[in-house]
Each structure stands twice: as structure tokens, then as C-alpha cells.
Amino acid sequence: MRLKEIDEIRRWFDDYVASFYSTCGRLHQLELKERHSHRVAENAGLLADELGWDESARHLAVAAGLLHDLGRFPQYRDYGTFYDFRSLDHGDRGERVFREDFPGDIIDPIELELIAFTTREHNKKDLPVGRTEKEMELLKLIKDSDRIDIFRVVREHIKRGETDSIYPGIGPEGQFTPAVLDELRRYGKARYDQLRTLSDVLLFQLCWIKDMAHPQSVELLRDRGDLEWILDRLPENSTAAEILGSLKGSMLPSQTCR
């Protein structure tokens, strides 16, 4: 992919987002996803550079990062929520938008299929099987890039006292939900519909580092202070301490976990 094509993709994306502003107004939630999409594209470019991807592959990563959340905009318009379990699978919806609305003549058909694949699969709990090496390389990079920015989004909203705009109805920090602790202890994963408190959310996020495909992704989180910030906020709990102990020590900041 060439830089010229990236510019065309950005223009299409801006027009796509603007169409929702014209019908829904400049809602905070839509602006949040627009900014998030641009930052995921930026993260994808940074990681591609760290991994030594060539220019064409880097441009593809940036494009896939920008377009990964296309499904979020119709999701919020139609359901008023970003919770997939209360509405629809935004990855599946995003692939549909991409295939139906994106001008396919902008990019090579192979690249188009790669972006469609990553858009559909980026939010799935488990990685797909039986896919090509190129598909999986791009998907893993986009999943890492997406999660890196979610750490930032959650941190910023907690600091501003605006968590209800991203996790409506979630309880305050200070305690964990037993079912969440059990799932994270046993499987290292939990479901969004199980999260009841902000402490659940933060521990759930921290467990993502086990699934990060690239150590460079974790290093970026450490450099930005996101991991240490979460660790400092978690309440004392023996099961939570066990979960933290299961994370690789080299992946966490060098401090004592409670």
C-alpha cells in the first residue's frame, strides 16, 4: 500500500464519521471512537516500525488500525451502547460496513481482504485458526494497537471522573466481583458482561498483557506508565494477588504487587 492510498482512506473515514455527526450530532461517544481510531492507526504505525515492517506493510497496518472500529458508529446510533452483549458484534458489523460502503478500487483486493479480516476479528475473545501467516501478523498487531489505546482511554476517563460515558452503570473502585476474579484466575480472561466495578475493569485490562503478541506493545504501556498506574489503584485481595503473580514478571513494572 502506498501513502497516496492512505490519504484516500483517511478522507473516506472522515466522511464516514461525519455522516453520523450529521444525523446524531457530535456525541461524545462518537467523537471518542473517532479519536480512538486515529490513535490505533498511530499505534499500528509505531509497532510496525518497531517490528521492522516494510513501508507497504506499515501503510496497511495504519489503514487497518484506522478502520478497525467501523462497526462502532452504527452500533451506537442504533443501540445507544458500545456493549456488544447488549447490541451486536461490532467486529462483524464493521466488516459489513467495510464490504458494503468502502470503495474497493482504492486498494489492492488482497489488502482489502486483509482489512476486512482484521476488522471482523479484532474484537474476538480468541484468535481464529487456520488463517495465513500474513492475516495473523496483521490481526495481532491491530489487536495490540487497539488494547494499547484502550488503556489510555480508561485511564483518562477515570482521572476526569467520566467513566460512566464508557462503562455506563459500572460500580466504583474498591472491590472485585468474585465471578470476575474466578474467571481471571482460572482462564486469564473474563466477559465484559461480568464486570461490575472499576476495579474489575482495571484487573481485567491488566490481564491483557498475557495475550499481547509483541513485547514492544507491553514496553509501550510501561513507558507510558499505564501498567504502574493500574497496579497502584488495585485494592488488596488475595485472589487478585494470585492473578497478578501469574503474569510474567518481566511484563510488569518492577514493584511489589499487593
Predicted local distance difference test score (pLDDT) of residue 182:
95
Q: What is the pLDDT of residues 120-130, one digit of tens each?
A: 999 998 999 99
Interval 173-184 mean pLDDT: 95
State whether the Cα torsion 7-8-9-13 is positive or negative.
Answer: positive
pLDDT bin (cut points 50, 70, 90) of residue 247 is confident
Please give the Cα distance from 64 to 56 (Å, whole number).
12
Q: What is the DSSP string of 198-248?
A: HHHHHHHHHGGGGG-S-HHHHHHHHHTTHHHHHHHHPPP-HHHHHHHHHS-
Statement: residue 189 has pLDDT above 60: yes
Q: What is the pLDDT of residues 198-235, one digit of tens each?
A: 999 999 999 999 889 999 999 999 999 999 999 999 99
